Chains A and B, each alone.
Chain A
Amino acid sequence: MRAGALGRALGEGAGALWTLALVLGGAAAMLSGLDALPGWLRGEPRGVRRVASVDEAERIMRSRILLPSYFPDSYRWPPSSIRVWREGGGAVALAFDARDGSPALLLAETVSGTGALTAPLLPDSAVIQKQGAALGEGATLSRIVSEDGTLWNELEWTAAGRRFVLRGRGPLDVLMRMARSIHGAGR
């Protein structure tokens, strides 16, 4: 008799917990969806955040962002977009427009560590040619085709304990000079 009552109570308790788990799970799923919605509407994956200025990006990442000390007049300053990603040690990507307003330059760098810089900060592209570059060991120069079919040059190298990617549509020598000036800044 007592065992039967205990069994009923245990069954009822388990049922109550199951219902609780379902409701809390549903609430968690809804909150998670609401959290992802702004990024989805902007076409950005979760974890990527747009910020208004380099200062704000540095404050969020709690680290200096290394910038080229050579910055030709053919590009507009400030960056047209600054996106930060905190996962995997953190990374930041700065996009610059040309004087005519078209996308012209992208600088991405890790904040700590030398892991590869890939999506979600770098737009998808297809590599059509790759070779070594005079920017230290492991540096590469690639010719890539972006999603919209335009051709870009891409430099990728490691310096100061960070991984850098610099993509540009302009002349290669300008891109190299900008990349070297990031080293030369000594920050």
Chain B
Amino acid sequence: MAAARWVDFAGQSILHTLVAALVIEALVRLWRVRQPEQRTGFRLLALAWPLLVVPALFFGFPERSDEAFQDARALFAARRWDELTLLGAGLDAWWLAGMVLLGVALFLMDLVPLLRSRAPLPPPFPLEAAAGAPARAREALAEAALALSLRAPPLAFVPEGPPLFYCTGARRPTVVVSRQAVDLLDPAELRCAFAHELSHLERRDPVLGWALMGARALLWFNPVVQILVRALARDSERLADERAALATGDRLALASGLLKLYRASEGRYALPARRNLPLSAALAAPIARARAHDIGLRCRALLDPAPARVRLSAFRFVALAAGLFLLLFFVV
């Protein structure tokens, strides 16, 4: 395929994802879709757009690339912006170049720290023999697993360093916890935090995380995809919060544990790794603010009762997908 076709493809991919994501975000708010699982479903539609629908439209309907279609039938043709020039290049070319740069920056900002942080974990031990882990951590994990009707996964205990509390492993799911995190949380908070991590493992979120990273790598040029995946990651956290709160019945303990862990870790460990990337210094502060905002939203959501599901969600989903297809067919 000629280079110009690839440029067209990239332009349409970005534009379609942007429109789809904005429409979906508007509807999620207007339809009051607050339940995280339902939100994830709608946002996955926006992510599916550049992965499945744009290639299908681009290669399945080649007449959309014709001048005749763009001039007479298209609702929006990006080519028209190339008729306005700045420093010898069309505005469409400038827009595309700016978006691609932003996409690459957002992708690298997560990829590089991820690759750098792949330090080997302590070997996971079966629950009965999690050497060195305090008894109350093992008990809390067992209680959380019981509450969720799951088998307790191996626990990796990190005796030193910053407060850590996460799950990992696509093939061998493991919960990682550090001494500082265990010391920080009271028994109820510890049980809720384990329930949160077990909810991730129950939904196979580590696998989903790698799949989403693959989607980001495939669409590295698309900044909207990079932002969408972050939104999906936030939804996944909210979903695990709700599942853990339902299982343990203690929303407040989960909120306070979350807040304690955030306050103990944020700003001290995450930011320095990012400063080696282009634009990272400029973007680090807004990202930290966004993370603080997100933690605030999660805590506030936990202070409220569990959100209700909106009705007719399958009907809404199908109507939205059909409407978007009709609209974006005429956007080239």
Contact = CB atoms under 8 A, between A and B. Distances in A.
Interface of A: 9, 12-13, 16-17, 19-21, 23-24, 27-28, 31-32, 34-35, 38-39, 41-42, 47, 49-50, 60, 86-87
Given A17-B319, A31-B331, A49-B83, 15 more contacts: A16-B31, A16-B319, A20-B320, A23-B23, A23-B30, A24-B327, A27-B22, A27-B327, A28-B327, A31-B75, A35-B74, A35-B80, A42-B83, A60-B67, A86-B71
Contacts, number: 72
A32 B75 contact: yes
SS class, residues of chain B in contact with chain A: helix
Given A12-B311, A16-B31, A20-B323, A27 B72 contact: no
**Chain B, interface size: which category?**
20 to 34
Query: What 4 pairs between A and B have smallest CB-CB spacing?
Result: A31-B76, A35-B76, A86-B71, A38-B80
Contacts of B283: none
A20 B27 contact: yes
B210 interface: no
Interface of B: 19, 22-23, 26-27, 30-31, 67-68, 71-72, 74-77, 80-81, 83-84, 91, 311-312, 315-316, 319-320, 323-324, 326-327, 331
Given A23-B30, A60-B67, A16 B83 contact: no
Given A27-B19, A27-B327, A12 B312 contact: yes
Contacts of A49: 71, 80, 83
Nearest to B84: A38
Contacts of A19: 27, 30-31
A16 B31 CA distance: 7
